[in-house]
Amino acid sequence: MAQQFPHVRFDGLDIVPIATRYPPANVRFEMHDIAEPFRYANGTYDLVHGRSISMAVRDYPALVDEVARVLRPGGLFVGCEFNRIPAMAHGRDASTHLPLSSRFFDAVNQTLYFSKGILNVAPCISRILNASDHFDEVHQLRVEMPVGGDHFGTCFKGLLKMYVEGLKVVLLDAGWSRAQVDDLARGYLHEMEHIPGMVSIYHAVYARKRAV
C-alpha cells in the first residue's frame, strides 16, 4: 500500500520489533503496547487497521475509544480477527465433527480469560463499535477460511500449525503440564489433517467515525 500510495504516511505499531530493515520513506514502525494510550494527537488518521490483536487486548471497548480519538471525523476503522473456536464448513456442528479441536480451544480460551482476562472478541467487534457511540456504518463480514484442500487452504494450514506452537506456550505459561499441552495440541493437529471440511472463521469489521 505504501508503494501504491507514496503520498500517504503509514505508521505501524507492534509490541515486538517487526519493522523491515529498509521500509519505504513513507512508512514508520514503532514498538508500542496497544493496551496503552497512543502518543498521537486527536484526529491524526484517516484509517486505523487493527489485525490479529485480540490476544493482546483485555479491554477492547477501551481500545475502540482510543482508536476513535486518533481518527478524523469520517475516518475508517478496520478490525480483523480470527474466531478462536473450531468450525466446519456450511455451519456443520464443530463439537460433533471436531471434538478434539473443541477441547483444545476450550482450554486456550479459558486459560486466556482466567490468566490474562482476555476474551475471544472476534464475533463481538461490531457490537462493541455500535455500543461505543463513536461510529456509524458498522459492517461485519464473516469469512470461512478453508483448512487444507486447495493451494490456499494448504498454505493456511501451515500457518495454523505455527499458531498452535504459540498457543502451546500460552498454556504452558499458565501452568498446564507439557504432557497435557502436547495431548491437546496433538488432537487438534490430528483432526486438522484427517477431518475434511475444517475451516477457521475470520471476522472483518469496518466502520466510520461519526462526524462531529
The predicted-structure confidence for 149-200, as pLDDT tens digits, reads as follows 889 999 999 999 999 999 999 999 999 999 999 999 999 999 999 999 999 9
Q: Is 137 contained in some domain? A: yes
Q: Is 171 contained in some domain? A: yes
Q: Quote the pLDDT of residue 18.
A: 77
Task: Tell me the three cell numbers of residue 41.
Answer: 494527537
Q: What percent of the chain has pLDDT over 90?
A: 89
Task: Tell me the three cell numbers of residue 171.
Answer: 498454556
Q: Is 54 contained in some domain? A: yes
Q: Please work out, in degrees rounded to the nearest 5, the angle formed at the alpha carbon of residue 57 by the alpha carbons of 12 and 21.
A: 25
For cell 488432537, the residue is 187
Q: What percent of the chain has pLDDT over 70?
A: 100
Q: Is 93 contained in some domain? A: yes
Q: Is 19 contained in some domain? A: no
The C-alpha atoms of residue 23 and residue 30 are separated, in whole angstroms, by 12
The C-alpha atoms of residue 168 and residue 21 are separated, in whole angstroms, by 30
Task: Tell me the three cell numbers of residue 105.
Answer: 480451544
The C-alpha atoms of residue 18 and residue 104 are separated, in whole angstroms, by 29
Q: Is 109 contained in some domain? A: yes
Q: Is 91 contained in some domain? A: yes
- CA 135 to centroid of chain Cα atoms: 20
Residues present in the chain in total: 212
Q: Quote the pLDDT of residue 16.
A: 84
Q: Is 134 contained in some domain? A: yes
Q: How does the average pLDDT of the chain come out, rounded?
A: 94
Task: Tell me the three cell numbers of residue 109.
Answer: 480460551
Q: What is the CATH number of the domain that holds 185?
A: 3.40.50.150
pLDDT of 19 higher than 90? no
The C-alpha atoms of residue 68 and residue 70 are separated, in whole angstroms, by 6
Task: Determine contact, residues 175/48, Cβ cutoff 8 Å.
Answer: no
Enclosing domain of residue 40: 33-209
Q: Per the structure, how many domains does the chain have?
A: 1
pTM: 0.89
63-67 average pLDDT score: 97
Q: What tens digit of pLDDT does each residue of 22-62 get?
A: 889 999 999 999 989 999 999 999 999 999 999 989 999 99
